[in-house]
């Protein structure tokens, strides 16, 4: 969106008032977006869309009176120029395809809304389709990288394609957004019965633990069970760095032991291990770009071979101050998805 253009008028629809507040607050971070109304059920959404004629509707699916998909179909008739972005907790392939076939341009899984909502809005306002990286593990979708941390989207992939790993880079603007993104991700993984390994700076580890405690997830029990493991990033780096570069054998031994330990604590065929880390970002911040790229490549191999999910947190400022484009592209190329907050 260009400076000086009129504000984009947005209607927010969700039956859970706290989540509507979250969406409105997030959208307010972009001065080009103006929330002109809210609705709590599908029929009300149709009526407000007809009366207000918004440019964009952020729409839930599980709505009373009229579900979001049927509401979208009706909205397309009464407000044909309006773009629709679904934000829902549902993540089944069939439902996503049905939602998009109703005329919507985008679909964000609620657990990823904190990191993806603004990027999704920008993408669909540009006339492109956006499907949440929260669906990246589903073989019916693939994430398409665009060479800028603000530009990423997903689109339907051929059914024969297999998504082999989930290794994502999260570019954050400040500590608050970093903690928001990592807290949301870790909380969702723990709540689903998975294990989480955090490898971060001391201050981030402490703040993340406080936030997870506030989520009432039983984090104390998760720590005792071994489902939540927290390690210092600098200390972890020291265990496998040799002459300024990560040693592959040492790295695989260190990470392999951590993953095995965490995997013992989870049960069920669908349970998995997730790693939230900032080791490579620390190397980048120290000016050691080659080491950061090599480390991301090693993490990518671990994601493929061990079936773990990896989320890397990068300070966005490092990439906005004359960074070498080819180096940035190499960092991004080692990830299955790139997103920003």
Parts of the chain belonging to CATH 3.40.50.2300:
8-156
**pLDDT level of residue 158 (50, 70, 90 thresholds):** very low
For 166-340, give the CATH class: alpha beta
Q: Is residue 332's pLDDT more than 90?
A: no
Parts of the chain belonging to CATH 3.40.50.300:
166-340
**pLDDT level of residue 325 (50, 70, 90 thresholds):** low
Percent of the chain with pLDDT over 70: 86
DSSP for residue 295: H
Which is higher by pLDDT, 318 or 160? 318
Q: Is residue 146's pLDDT more than 50?
A: no
pLDDT one-digit tens code per residue, 57-77: 999 999 999 999 999 999 999
**pLDDT level of residue 148 (50, 70, 90 thresholds):** very low
Which is higher by pLDDT, 233 or 133? 233
C-beta neighbour count of 244 within 10 angstroms: 10
Which is higher by pLDDT, 137 or 32? 32
Spatial neighbors of 228 by CB under 8 A, at least 6 apart, are 186, 190, 195, 196, 198, 212, 219, 222
Q: Is residue 306's pLDDT more than 90?
A: no
User: Average of pLDDT values for 228-255?
Assistant: 94
Calculate the average pLDDT of the chain.
83
CATH of 8-156, one of 3.30.70.330, 3.40.50.2300, 3.40.80.10, 3.90.1170.50: 3.40.50.2300
Helix (H) or strand (E) holding 187: helix 175-191
Q: Is residue 316's pLDDT more than 80?
A: no
User: Average of pLDDT values for 96-100?
Assistant: 88
pLDDT one-digit tens code per residue, 3-23: 445 589 999 999 988 888 889
Which is higher by pLDDT, 138 or 72? 72
Q: What is the pLDDT of residue 56?
A: 97
pLDDT one-digit tens code per residue, 194-231: 999 999 999 999 999 999 998 877 898 999 999 999 99
Q: Is residue 139's pLDDT more than 50?
A: no
Q: Is residue 136's pLDDT more than 70?
A: no
Q: How far is CA 121 from CA 67, 99, 182, 196, in A?
A: 21, 16, 21, 29
User: Average of pLDDT values for 106-120?
Assistant: 87
The H-assigned helical ranges of 215-322 are: 219-225, 233-238, 248-263, 279-285, 289-306
pLDDT one-digit tens code per residue, 174-198: 888 889 889 988 999 998 899 999 9
Q: What is the pLDDT of residue 324?
A: 56
Rounded to whole angstroms, how far apart are CA atoms 313 and 285? 12
Least confident of 46-50, 79-83, 331-335: 331-335
Q: What is the pLDDT of residue 21?
A: 87
Which candidate, 41, 81, 88, places its Cα nearest to that of 65? 41
Please answer whether residues 48 and 73 qualify as being in contact, where contact means their C-beta atoms are separated by less than 8 angstroms.
no
Strand, helix or coil for residue 169: strand
Going through the chain in order, the beta strands assigned E by DSSP cover 8-13, 33-39, 56-59, 83-88, 106-109, 130-131, 141-148, 151-156, 166-172, 195-200, 228-232, 241-242, 245-246, 273-277, 309-315, 337-340
């Amino acid at each position: 969106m260009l400076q000086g253009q009129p504000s984009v008028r947005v209607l927010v629809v969700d039956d859970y008032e706290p989540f509507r507040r979250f969406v409105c607050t997030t959208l307010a971070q972009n001065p080009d977006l103006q929330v002109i109304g809210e609705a709590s059920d599908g029929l009300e959404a149709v009526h407000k869309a007809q009366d207000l004629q918004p440019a964009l509707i952020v729409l839930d699916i599980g709505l009373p009176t009229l579900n979001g998909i049927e509401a979208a179909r009706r909205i397309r008739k009464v407000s044909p120029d309006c773009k629709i972005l679904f934000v829902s907790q549902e993540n089944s392939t069939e439902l996503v395809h049905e939602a998009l076939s109703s005329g919507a341009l985008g679909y964000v899984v609620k657990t990823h809304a904190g990191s993806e909502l603004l990027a999704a809005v920008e993408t669909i306002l540009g006339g492109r389709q956006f499907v949440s990286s929260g669906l990246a593990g589903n073989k019916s979708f693939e994430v398409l990288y665009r060479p800028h941390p603000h530009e990423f989207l997903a689109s339907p992939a051929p059914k024969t394609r297999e998504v082999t790993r989930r290794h994502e880079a999260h570019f954050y603007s400040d500590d608050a957004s970093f903690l928001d993104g990592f807290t949301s991700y870790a909380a969702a993984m723990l709540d689903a019965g998975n294990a989480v390994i955090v490898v971060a700076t001391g201050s981030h580890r402490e703040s993340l633990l406080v936030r997870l405690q506030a989520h009432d997830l039983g984090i104390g029990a998760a720590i005792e069970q071994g489902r939540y493991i927290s390690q210092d990033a600098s200390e972890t780096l020291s265990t496998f760095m040799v002459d300024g570069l990560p040693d592959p054998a040492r790295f695989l031994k260190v990470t392999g032991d951590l993953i095995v330990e965490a995997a013992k604590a989870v049960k069920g065929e669908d349970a998995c291990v997730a790693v939230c880390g900032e080791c490579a970002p620390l190397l980048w911040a120290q000016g050691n770009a080659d080491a950061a790229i090599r480390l991301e490549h090693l993490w990518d191999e671990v994601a493929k071979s061990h079936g773990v999910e990896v989320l890397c947190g990068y300070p966005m400022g490092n990439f906005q101050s004359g960074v070498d484009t080819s180096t940035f592209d190499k960092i991004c190329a080692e990830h299955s998805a790139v997103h920003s907050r």
